[in-house]
Amino acid sequence: MALTYRQAGVDVEAGDALVERIKPAAARTLRPEVLAGIGGFGGLFALTPGKYKEPVLVSGTDGVGTKLKVAFLADRHTTIGEDLVAMCANDIVVSGAEPLFFLDYFATSQLDTRRAADVITGIARGCELAGCTLLGGETAELPGFYQGSEYDLAGFCVGVVERSAIIDGSRVRPGDALIGLASTGLHSNGYALARRVLLEKAALPLDAVPAGLSRTLADELLTPTRIYVRDVRALAAAVDLRAVAHITGSGLPGNLPRVLPPGTRAVLHESEWSRPAIFDLIERLGPVTRDEMYRTFNMGLGMVAVVPQNDVAKAVASLQQSSVAAWQVGSIELGTPDAEPEVFIT
């Protein structure tokens, strides 16, 4: 009897059904520049003639790490797609770019159409929040490659910025203020340590409400990463925005120096912002040292912006209008001449 591709583990019909199922969600993300999107071999996107004098394309790619493990354990897949968009779109908006389009890669051993549709619908929702088009993607069925019905995700985002409007940190000066934008929790970083502490060492059930939290552990750990695109772009229009750092893996000490010029240092005061209780829970149950917490997690700040001191009030007001809590959390000081920038947290 002749073998079929389906018998070998790949269900082409299920893949086709998934494409049809996600088309309405993708259609809600369409921008007018789209010439051809999902369904073709490549997505076509035309920049609006005359809109930019010197357009510079900005690209980013990322995944969501082992936050996926929590989604598998809870069997909840409707928000992980937002995380995927957030990790990519937040990376490119810090340079001043407007996200234009997004592509995803979804890989699994055996395609579960319902689960995949939940994930990709979440991706489409993330694209709506970021203002970009879900232009295309790839769904790969790889029999025997992943455990059971587990899957992996990767995202790719492309944006554009006027060359003269690029935000690169070169104008940061001692005396400038650091504005912290609140995170929604862990976002999509540090989950290897969080899972080790909370789910393995402390053996907390995902449906439990641990002391100090106001919702279940699953709700806390699967809260989507905030998409800061509209917040940052509104901030850039309101004040002299000199630098923005997306606080991801390696935390404030690893990310803030990436947007600061040599010979400067950022001094932050942790008493100046509110820290979600999930961080205190991890630190206490680990136990995890303060330095390790700051090297691993965002510690309540998903973005940090640098503005002149006289723009602080306008910056905070702009962010509050975007419904994101924000505080002046520190300032830029003169560091060792020509040395790599540093971060100090007091």
Lowest mean pLDDT among 17-31, 70-84, 119-133, 198-212: 17-31
Cis upstream peptide for 287 (omega within 30°): yes
Question: Residue 326's pLDDT is what?
Answer: 98
Count the neighbouring beta carbons within 10 Å of the beta carbon of residue 296.
22
Q: Closest Cα to residue 90, out of 105, 102, 78?
A: 102
| pLDDT tens profile 133-171 | 999 999 999 998 988 889 999 999 999 999 999 999 999
Q: Which residue in 172, 155, 171, 177 sits closest to 59, CA to CA?
A: 155
Mean pLDDT of the chain: 93
Q: Which residues pair with 103 in a beta bridge?
A: 136, 156
In degrees and rounded to multiples of 5, residue 115 shows phi and psi of -65, -45
Q: Write down the pLDDT at residue 117.
A: 92
Would you say domain 12-39+50-165 falls under CATH 3.40.50.970? no
For residue 10, the model assigns a pLDDT of: 65
Portion of the chain with pLDDT greater than 70, in percent: 95
Mean per-residue pLDDT, 306-315: 98
Q: pLDDT-derived band of residue 327, with 50, 70 and 90 as boundaries?
A: very high
Our CA angle for 328, 225, 254, nearest 5°, is 60
Q: Where in the chain is the domain with CATH 3.30.1330.10?
A: 12-39+50-165
pLDDT band at 179 (very low <50, low <70, confident <90, very high): very high
Distance CA 221, CA 281 (A): 12
User: Would the pLDDT of 4 be above 60?
Assistant: no
More confident residue, 110 or 1: 110
Backbone angles phi, psi at 345, to 5 degrees: -120, 120
pTM of this structure: 0.93
pLDDT reported for residue 204: 98
In the chain, % of residues over pLDDT 90: 82
The predicted-structure confidence for 230-276, as pLDDT tens digits, reads as follows 999 999 999 999 999 999 999 999 999 999 999 999 999 999 999 99
Which pLDDT tens digit goes with each residue over 194-213? 999 999 999 999 999 999 99
pLDDT at 6: 67
Structure tokens at 19: 């494409």
pLDDT digits (tens, 9 = 90+) for 30-48: 888 888 767 678 889 999 8
Question: Which of 95, 67, 10 minimizes the C-alpha distance to 187?
Answer: 67
Nearest to 80 by CA among 126, 140, 130, 14: 126
- The Cα–Cα gap between 32 and 229 comes to 19
Q: Given this model, what pLDDT does residue 27 score?
A: 81
Span(s) in the chain for CATH 3.90.650.10: 177-345
Higher pLDDT, 9 or 193: 193
pLDDT of residue 76 exceeding 90, the answer is yes
The CATH code for residues 177-345 is 3.90.650.10
